[in-house]
Structure formats: structure tokens, C-alpha cells
């Protein structure tokens, strides 16, 4: 599938940067052309997930996201991502990133074998893609691809190695 090929290319090009959290401002109109506003279909392909860098089949996730953002320049944007799964988080684009990013904490993510539960830090990174030319296009706000990565803290569940799950993802505008 062409979307998987594009997503794989975007995944290879992305890097994880420090988690940033803040309250996002209300979206306002601007004319930079890269704002994400509307309803989108989110799809994470669990068939080609990586668990601690090993390919493993995980559940595929489909959600509806409502994205609301505004930009103060072509490279500095903020807003909010709200998921049909019941969460809302800051949506941002700008330095030091060159991708749209959504960061959120999942309080009870990893269940430990001896009991107890560890949180997970989840990051979605994605960018617009021209499907015909199969290349990145930051002005394309209708079809975006990237990856989601969820990681437990090192030391959780009594081990020094965090659990890390990564899946390719795509977001497509519905309205």
C-alpha cells in the first residue's frame, strides 16, 4: 500500500526530541496554509509495529481526531488535538521540530508482571505528504503520515529497559 511506503519513509526520517508540554492557545485564523483545522481519521498500523525495536503485531487503531491550530509564522504553530478515544493534548509545529507533534501521558499504560502499573509517554509525529509525488509537502493538510511512539520510564516494572512501542500512522482529513 502506497500509504505504508510513505509512512515507512517518514518514520525513517523522524527523530524523537524532548517532550514539551503546555496549554495550547485557542486556534485563530491565519494565512500561512499549513494549519491543521477540521476532523481527521487517525490510523495506526499495528501490523508493522516495533516493540523494543523488534517487529511484532499489535492492535491497529482507528480514531477520529479533531485538530484545531493557528500559526504565527510558517514554522510556528500551536493548537489542540482531541481524540474520539477521550483524550485531548497540545498540538504543535516548530523549532526544534520540523513535524507536527502531539505529546500526551497515558497514566496506566504498562501493567507490570509483579503487580503495579507504569505510565507511558506517547508522541505522535507527522507531516503532510504529496501522495502522487510520494514526497513531503508541508502545505498538504489533507493527508499526513508519520509515527506514534509510546515509552514507559526506565526502571518501571523493575527493569532498566523501558518498554517502547512504535507504529506507523496516517491522518486523513474527513471535513
Q: What is the pLDDT of residues 94-120, one digit of tens each?
A: 888 889 999 999 999 999 988 889 999
pLDDT band at 34 (very low <50, low <70, confident <90, very high): confident
Give the rounded percent of residues in the chain with a pLDDT score beyond 70: 82
* Backbone φ and ψ of 116, nearest 5°: 90, 165
pLDDT higher than threshold 50 for residue 41: yes
- Per the rule left: phi > 0, alpha: psi between -120 and 50, beta: everything else, 157 is left
> How many of the other CB atoms lie within 10 Å of CB of 108?
10
Q: Report the 10 Å Cβ neighbour count for 31.
A: 6
Give 131-160 pLDDT, tens digit per residue.
999 999 988 999 999 999 999 998 898 888
Amino acid at each position: 500500500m502506497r500509504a505504508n511506503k510513505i509512512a515507512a519513509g517518514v518514520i525513517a526520517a523522524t527523530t524523537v526530541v524532548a517532550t514539551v508540554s503546555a496549554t495550547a492557545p485557542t486556534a485563530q485564523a491565519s494565512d500561512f496554509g499549513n494549519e491543521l483545522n477540521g476532523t481527521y481519521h487517525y490510523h495506526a498500523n499495528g501490523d508493522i509495529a516495533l516493540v523494543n525495536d523488534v517487529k511484532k503485531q499489535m492492535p491497529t487503531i482507528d480514531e477520529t481526531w479533531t485538530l484545531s491550530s493557528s500559526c504565527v509564522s510558517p514554522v510556528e504553530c500551536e493548537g489542540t488535538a482531541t481524540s474520539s478515544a477521550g483524550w485531548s493534548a497540545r498540538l504543535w509545529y516548530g523549532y526544534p521540530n520540523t513535524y507536527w507533534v502531539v505529546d500526551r501521558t497515558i497514566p496506566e499504560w504498562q501493567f507490570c508482571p509483579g503487580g503495579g502499573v507504569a505510565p507511558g509517554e506517547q508522541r505522535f509525529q507527522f507531516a503532510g505528504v504529496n501522495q502522487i509525488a510520494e514526497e513531503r509537502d508541508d502545505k498538504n493538510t489533507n493527508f499526513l503520515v508519520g509515527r506514534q511512539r509510546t515509552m514507559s520510564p526506565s526502571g518501571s516494572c523493575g527493569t532498566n529497559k523501558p518498554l517502547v512501542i512504535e507504529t506507523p500512522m496516517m491522518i486523513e482529513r474527513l471535513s
